[in-house]
Every structure is written in structure tokens, then in C-alpha cells.
Amino acid sequence: MRWRQIGTILGLALLLGTASAGPAPAAGPDPAGGATLVGRAVLPADTFAPGPPSGATIDPSSNTNGRKPPFPSQPVQGFSAVLDAGGGAYWAMADNGFGAQNNSADFLLRVYRIRPAFETASGGAGTVAVEDFIQLRDPDRRIPFPITNGATPERALTGADFDIESVRQDRRGDLWFGDEFGPFLLHTDATGRVLEAPVPLAGVKSPQNPTLAAGEAATLPASRGFEGTALSPDRATLYPSLEGALVGDPDQRRRYIYAFDLATGRYTGERWQYRAEAPGHAIGDLTALDGRRLLIIERDNEQGPAARFKKIFLIDLGETGADGFLVKREVVDLLAIADPARISLPAREGDFGLGDPFTFPFQTIESVLPLGGGRLLVANDNNYPFSAGRNAGRPDDNEIIILQVPALAGVQPDLPRTGAGGTAAPGTAPAAGALLAGALALTLLAAALRPRRI
């Protein structure tokens, strides 16, 4: 029986570790030179996964768009990072839950495996299936400060413990999460098991940092920690970025990007400056194109018709201006996307921004994933049940779109074409999701081989 189990696990590893791809969307690029919508899939706002009830401490006076907490289980919401899982599937990381530390103690930190069936110009259901999830947990007590479920054997992590906003996978298959409460880097294995104490950023602490001493002043505002975290194509260096400016910085448009060496587990001391277009703008995500160039989402805090700034820029870590800030080049205006095939239609009564032109008018847009061939996958963080950018009075769905971006054609030499972007070229590195699947299967294999007491 045991060898049959091992054989099943090895077969699963081979199956999950082989990256295959769905058909490429058929719509062509916008002749005007802007981004064109070539695929869209929607996960309804009221999607729940197994788990304990949640939302019990949401302020009853807050606007929940007709939804009445507490909820019966765990909402699948708040996507703040996406990794390619291969074969048309993706890993979508939920953030801390309900937007604050004091109302998210019953929201479990997870990474969900999802499978979008993109609607394209040639058809498609436009739906998203939720297949599985990874639960973050600390059974080995690596975290040195109190956590919500600290008295339980598994010590499942919650949104009151960390506000995870980004995730990347290293060469070994381990996961690294960028957190805002510290800000910390949180290191787990492929199954979500914490491997070491959270890694702090020297000299930077938010008001939620558990190591903040009595009378010690925070150096970073709340909810302005590590939002985007890029990973170099060789999987050797992380580039975590602060969402907002440091307290007391005379230039409140300055956002810092750091370098963290995964081999040594230390920050390298390198630091770059990115200048936002306005002090109130936030960084939504940071993703590598190749060894030097990164994509960065910059956004305002508005939604629906009030949204004015939701853009993706290209930066080069080797190119700074005379002012010392990274040079930025706009590649996508998410409020002005061509939809000549009318993929986004039909609209529900009250929907905003569907049709041609198509807009992505959400308060928080926190996931961008290069697919190769000038295509980008972009997803919103729907802040369930609070945000209502698509339709006033209705909680936002999780929308996942694929854009054809002429400005990126020919500038992604280090990336395989995976997922909905096409088939991986021969000889390219495996997608992050393939490594994750393989690492997960090997972890299960090790568990199967471990001696048991009878």
C-alpha cells in the first residue's frame, strides 16, 4: 500500500511539473498602440472555500455592499499576487483578509490554485475554478512573537498575524512572502510551513510591527510595507518594494526598492528610488521581466468613475535619471484598454467600464504576471466585501484579464511563454508553478517515506 502511495505521488509530481498551455487568444493588438483586452475571466465575489467562519469582527457600521458578516467560511478574495502554475492554472495569493489587523484574526492566510477559462475573441466561458489551496502555518514555532492561533498544533496564520501582499518562489521551491505589518519577508516551504523567523528590514517598522517597543516611533505608516516583491529570473535575488513613503521623508513621492540575496538570507545594501506621480499613490505590484527590467503597478486609491490613475510602468534597475530616481516608462493605462472584440460584454445593469474602451477601475490592482509574447495577466484585489469599483453597491468580483501590450513586444527575452500566453519555448526554465508543484509533491513523498509508529 505504501509503495502504491509513493508511486501515485511521483506520478502527481510528473503531471503537475509539466507546464502545458492553453490556446493563445485570437484578438490582435490595438492599432492605436495601446493595450488590448484579449482574455477575461471572472470569479464571483461570493466565492467561499472550506474553513472556519470569518468576518466576525468586521465593523457593523462599515459599508459591506449588502453582505452581512460573519461569513460561513473563508472567502476566496483579495488576490495580491499571482504565479503561473502551468497547464493553464495559477496560484493566487490572498492578502490579510478584511483590510485591517483588528478585523482579520479569523481570515486564514492562503494561496489558492485557480484555473481560469478565459473568454477570448474566439469564445471561452470567462469563469474561474478554485481547485486547491496552500495554508500558511507555523507548527515548528519559528515565529518568535505571539500569533492568533499560537495555542493550536498547526498554528495556522491569519490576517491579524501578517499582511502578506506578494509571493515568489526560489530555486528550491520555497515560498517567500512580502508582508506589510513588519515589514517582513516570510519564508515557507512549498506547503506553506514556516521555515525561519520573519526577516525584518533594518530601520523600518510599521505601527503593526510586533517588535515595536513602548515609546518607539514607527518609521513607516500603516499598510505601506512590502507590497510588490520581484524575483530575478535566476531566482537568486528578491526585490521587495515599499508601497508608500517613509515617515518624515521630505519627498513623499519616494518609494524604495531593496535587494535581498536568497543564498545568504541577507539584504545586499542596494537600494533604488522610484518616484510616484503623486504622494498619495501606492505601489500595487513589482514583477521582473528580465535581469534588469521590472514592471511596476502604480495606482490612486479611487474606484469606479472616480478612478483617475491605474498604470503599469517599465523600469530598469540600471537606468536612473540625474535626480537619482529610476527612469519610468508607461506601458499600460488600465483605465484605457481597447476591447475591439467586445470580450467584456455583456454588462449587468449598473456595470461601469465594460465594452470598448474597457477599464479596470478597481481601488486596488495588485497582480501583474508577464506571459511572454507581449502579454500580461493582471488581476484586481477585490477587498471583499468592501470595494465596488465595477458596480456601485455590489462587491467587486475577482477579475483576471490578459492584455496584449505592444510596448512590451520583444522585451521579455528571459521569460518562457506559459499559461494563456502560449507554449513554453524549448530549453526555457520551468514556470514558477511547475517548480511549486514539483516541490509540493516531493514534500509529500518525504512524508510518505518517513517511518511511522504502528
Q: Find all residues with CB under 8 Å of 74, minimum gap 6, and list them.
A: 48, 49, 50, 51, 52, 54, 107, 108, 110
Query: Which grid coordinates belong to 307?
Result: 478612478
* Interatomic CA distance for residues 369 and 81, integer angstroms: 9
Do residues 10 and 151 both lie within one domain?
no
Do residues 11 and 24 both lie within one domain?
no
Each residue's pLDDT tens digit, 18-38 = 433 333 333 343 434 599 999
CATH number of 128's domain = 2.120.10
Average pLDDT over residues 81-101: 95
Q: Find all residues with CB under 8 Å of 25, minimum gap 6, and list them.
A: 38, 39, 118, 120, 121, 122, 402, 404, 420
Do residues 4 and 121 both lie within one domain?
no
Across 44-126, the runs of DSSP E, i.e. the strands, are: 48-49, 74-75, 79-86, 89-94, 110-117
Of the spans 6-20, 190-204, 402-416, which averages the highest pLDDT?
190-204
Do residues 122 and 2 both lie within one domain?
no
Confidence of residue 440 (pLDDT cuts 50, 70, 90): low
Q: Which domain holds residue 366?
A: 20-429
Do residues 345 and 435 both lie within one domain?
no
Give residue 286's region: left, alpha or beta (phi > 0; psi -120 to 50).
beta
Confidence of residue 410 (pLDDT cuts 50, 70, 90): confident
More confident residue, 313 or 443: 313
Task: Quote the pTM value.
Answer: 0.86
Do residues 4 and 32 both lie within one domain?
no
Within 13 A of 278's CA, how many CA atoms are on the CB side? 10
* Interatomic CA distance for residues 419 and 82, integer angstroms: 12
Lowest mean pLDDT among 2-11, 149-158, 162-171, 324-333: 2-11
Residue 432 reports pLDDT greater than 70: no
* Interatomic CA distance for residues 238 and 288, integer angstroms: 10
Do residues 11 and 85 both lie within one domain?
no
- Say what the pLDDT of residue 412 is: 58
* Interatomic CA distance for residues 111 and 137, integer angstroms: 12
Average pLDDT over residues 385-401: 97
Q: What is the DSSP letter of 331?
A: E
Among the listed residues 366, 371, 376, 365, the one whose alpha carbon sits nearest the alpha carbon of residue 403: 376
Grid-cell match 535587494, residue found: 259
Do residues 196 and 218 both lie within one domain?
yes
Residue 17 reports pLDDT greater than 60: no
Each residue's pLDDT tens digit, 331-374 = 999 999 999 999 999 999 999 999 999 999 999 999 999 998 99
- Say what the pLDDT of residue 47 is: 98
Residue 14 reports pLDDT greater than 80: no
- Say what the pLDDT of residue 38 is: 98
* Interatomic CA distance for residues 80 and 95, integer angstroms: 6
Query: Which grid coordinates belong to 22?
Result: 492553453
Among the listed residues 50, 80, 55, the one whose alpha carbon sits nearest the alpha carbon of residue 68: 55
219 in Cβ contact with 203 (< 8 Å): yes
- Say what the pLDDT of residue 7 is: 42
Do residues 425 and 436 both lie within one domain?
no
6 in Cβ contact with 406 (< 8 Å): no
Lowest mean pLDDT among 318-332, 349-363, 380-394, 422-436: 422-436
Average pLDDT over residues 89-117: 96
Confidence of residue 206 (pLDDT cuts 50, 70, 90): very high
Query: Which grid coordinates belong to 109?
Result: 492566510
What is the DSSP track for 156-224?
A: B-BTTT--EEEEEE-TTS-EEEEESSS-EEEEE-TTSBB-SPPEE-TT---TT-TTPPTTPPPSS-TT-
The neighbouring-strand residues paired with 328 are 315
Do residues 215 and 293 both lie within one domain?
yes
Average pLDDT over residues 381-393: 97
More confident residue, 90 or 14: 90
Do residues 208 and 262 both lie within one domain?
yes
* Interatomic CA distance for residues 194 and 182, integer angstroms: 16
Grid-cell match 484585489, residue found: 381
Do residues 9 and 43 both lie within one domain?
no
More confident residue, 292 or 421: 292
* Interatomic CA distance for residues 90 and 401, integer angstroms: 13
Give the torsion sign (CA, 51, 57, 63, 66).
positive
Confidence of residue 409 (pLDDT cuts 50, 70, 90): confident
Domain tally, the chain: 2
What is the DSSP track for 359-403?
A: ----SEEEEEEEEETTEEEEEEE-TTTT--SSSTTSPPPEEEEEE
